[in-house]
Amino acid sequence: MKQELFLGKERQHKLAANHAVIFGAGALGSSIAEMFVRAGVGMITIVDRDYVEWSNLHRQQLYTEEDAKLKLPKAVAAEKRLQKLNSGITIKGIIADVNFRNVEKILEGASIIMDATDNFETRLVINDAAIKHHIPFIFGACVSSYGLSYPILPNKTPCFHCLMDHIPETSITCDTTGIINPIVQWTAAMQVSQGLQIMTDSPIKPMLRSFDIWKMEHAEIDVAALKNNQCPTCGEEANFPYLSMEKQTKADILCGRDAVHIRPSSSKTLDLQYLSNQWGKFVSNMTVNSYLLAFQYEECRIVLFQDGRAIIHGTAKSSEAKKIYHKLLG
């Protein structure tokens, strides 16, 4: 096949011997998965907690209107579709909310990890597991018309934790700002290209790459100097903090109130006035002051505090409350 003409038989065979784990089966994850399947990666595990909705269809290319009608879990719909594209490889869909309890089990036997998640906390959990088990981890993110990618090579490059102070949390998500399909494909293509290089033992240049497909701007940053010897994940005395309960977002059901209290894993300082301006188009009944931002979002009444805590009224399910929180704040 034409790919083999480019890679050569030896590197094509190496692809077939690899096991890629893709965390997230949304826009990025479905694009990455399809490219890996068509490329002949021998085993692919795709992990996601969500189901297919109508709003997904403009950018999540694996799914159909029928999947949305049936509300199929994305991991199930992706597995079924991908197996039809290449019956010669192994594909496994896992319906799961990735966390410190299950991530290491999911990664057993993996040779590479692809990030297609939608929040920083989950990435930090995956990052800890990747470094602990010496598995290359390719970070990717996109929102609006902007994308980022970066390959994390254990013992060689700074890890995601090292970069945390240099990749600011903007509180901008696809649900609050929107996204266009071309940036998804561009970001996925960057991640997949780097993944193919790693899986075929080809030289790779580990740069932090950013791109804005609407403005036609791009940049590369050499972040090697940001590797932190005191990093709790990849430093000299690593203790992998995000693989413990202490560093997880806590969700406490408020008894008798049909509400859940969300406590983020680390303290934030939110600009509530900025968020009220950003969110004004899709929330209602908004109240903002120096201490909190209260508003109606979909079926829930939400009170968001300056330190990142939130009380989500209208649900008594921790999983649902966390999903709403991450939709808004990433």
In degrees and rounded to multiples of 5, residue 224 shows phi and psi of -55, -35
pLDDT bin (cut points 50, 70, 90) of residue 236 is: very high
Positions of CATH 3.40.50.720 in the chain = 2-243
d(CA 77, CA 141): 22
pLDDT bin (cut points 50, 70, 90) of residue 280 is: confident
Query: What 3-state class would DSSP assign to 226?
Result: helix
Positions of CATH 3.30.310.10 in the chain = 249-329
d(CA 251, CA 263): 6
pTM for the full predicted model: 0.82
Q: What is the pLDDT of residue 214?
A: 95
Sheet holding 292-297, edge to edge: 250-254, 259-263, 310-313, 300-305, 292-297, 284-288
pLDDT tens-digit map of 142-155 = 989 999 999 999 99
Give the helix ranges, DSSP H, for the chain: 2-7, 9-16, 27-39, 65-70, 74-85, 103-106, 120-132, 160-163, 174-177, 181-199, 272-279, 318-329
pLDDT bin (cut points 50, 70, 90) of residue 61 is: confident
Look up the CATH architecture of domain 2-243.
3-Layer(aba) Sandwich (3.40)
Fold of domain 249-329: TATA-Binding Protein (3.30.310)
pLDDT > 90: percent of the chain: 62
Contact 36, 44 (CB under 8 A): yes
d(CA 126, CA 140): 13
Q: Residue 132's closest CA among 168, 151, 108? A: 108
Q: What is the pLDDT of residue 168?
A: 56
Q: What is the pLDDT of residue 153?
A: 97
Task: Report in angstroms the alpha-carbon separations of 308 from 38, 41, 46, 171, 265.
Answer: 42, 40, 30, 10, 10
> Could you identify the residue written with the tokens 């780097």?
194
In degrees and rounded to multiples of 5, residue 10 shows phi and psi of -65, -45
pLDDT tens-digit map of 79-99 = 999 999 999 999 999 998 888
Better pLDDT: 168 or 183:
183
d(CA 165, CA 162): 7
DSSP letter (8 states) at residue 54: G
DSSP letter (8 states) at residue 290: S
Distance of CA 233 to the CA centre of its chain: 19
Q: What is the pLDDT of residue 250?
A: 72
| Beta pairing partners, 21 | 45, 113
Better pLDDT: 300 or 165:
300
Query: What 3-state class would DSSP assign to 240?
Result: coil
167 pLDDT more than 90: no
pLDDT tens-digit map of 29-46 = 999 999 999 999 999 999
> Could you identify the residue written with the tokens 């929330």?
283
Contact 329, 173 (CB under 8 A): yes
pLDDT bin (cut points 50, 70, 90) of residue 219 is: very high
Task: Report in angstroms the alpha-carbon separations of 158 from 42, 122, 187, 206, 233.
Answer: 28, 18, 20, 10, 10
pLDDT tens-digit map of 100-136 = 889 999 999 999 999 999 888 889 999 999 999 999 9
DSSP letter (8 states) at residue 249: P
Q: What is the pLDDT of residue 118?
A: 81
Active site amino acids: 174
306 pLDDT more than 90: no
Contact 163, 223 (CB under 8 A): yes
Query: What 3-state class would DSSP assign to 303?
Result: strand
Better pLDDT: 264 or 109:
109
Highest mean pLDDT: which range of 87-91, 172-176, 254-258? 87-91
Q: What is the pLDDT of residue 302?
A: 92
d(CA 247, CA 177): 27
